[in-house]
Structure 1
Amino acid sequence: MLKTIALVVVAAIAALLIFAATRPDTFRVERTARIQAPAEKIFPLIDDFHRWGTWSPYEKLDPEMKRTFGGSASGKGATYAWDSKGKAGAGRMEIVESSPSSKIAINLDFTSPMEGHNLAEFTLQPQGDATMVTWSMQGKSPYVAKLMGIFFNMDQMIGKDFEAGLANLKTATEK
């Protein structure tokens, strides 16, 4: 009887590991919000890491988080590193593309709690007196992330943060 149970458990674990290997090698999370403000008013809040405290949900995860700014004051070449003993982990961002009032691309490197190298993008598309703002993140999905993805929906988890950040941008710029 114990032998049968052990074989079933081993088979289930093997099936789970094989299933994880078949999952996509990359991921993409994206959320969009319509903000009743011109792109010129929204863009500076994203293009300057010093202003992320106004809207980024990640800035509120750890009040004791250490922050280091470098490179350009804003735009291409601006850098921001953080180190947190709490939920925020540690990592570094660098703006690698900054097209005024339309697009910002950021290399996003996590060092803790897990290593990860992703690309975050913000696109701003004017629509009359409003702007459609899209926040996306994409990157490689190593095997461990594929395995975790079976149990945790990364799109929903990260997507909720993106939705909160876009709502904060909306509040900050529609005043």
Structure 2
Amino acid sequence: MVRSKNASPTWSDVRTALLDFDRAALRGLVQDLYTASKDNQAFLHARLGLGHDQLQPFKARISNWICPDAMNNQPISISKAKKAVADYKKAIGRADGMAELSIFYCEEAFGFLESCSMEDESYFVALIRMYGRSLEFVSSLPHAERSAYLERLDKLRSRGRDIGWGVEDELNSLWYATVLGEHQSE
């Protein structure tokens, strides 16, 4: 199949072009990608297991977007904060890392909500959804690794009462459906 010159290239096109690269050229391409952005660096560090805290760059991005410096008019971006979690999943996606990042997202969101009064329904909905995802990630871990994460999630649930908008009820509902439902099935 011949693609039109106006058609956007696809992964298939890139893969075909990479077949012409020798080892040195491929290494050079990866080096160029590495130096092109901090996000690429975080991805490669996580994928290759490099550094002492591979989650830190992803946490920094989450914190920057979900808990911005309101005094300096930094914007909130739920999608960019969630993208940091998704980027980690693409890079390596370890269940414990996914649990840590999703719970961290919730902790940062609660910290932001407790430091300023905000009435943004989409922010609350995103927080509730991420709490639900956190429970799913923790549930996928071996039983021996769950307790510290569950303790943090339980503390978050109790912080929901100060937020309003039914956040506490939603978190309780997710908690009881996941944690108690799991105990009943054992």
Q: TM-score range by the shorter chain?
A: under 0.3
Report which structure shows greater RCO (CA 8 Å, sep ≥6): 1
Question: What TM-score comes out, normalization by structure 1 length?
Answer: 0.23
Question: What TM-score comes out, normalization by structure 2 length?
Answer: 0.22
- Name the one with the larger helix percent: 2
- Name the one with the larger strand percent: 1
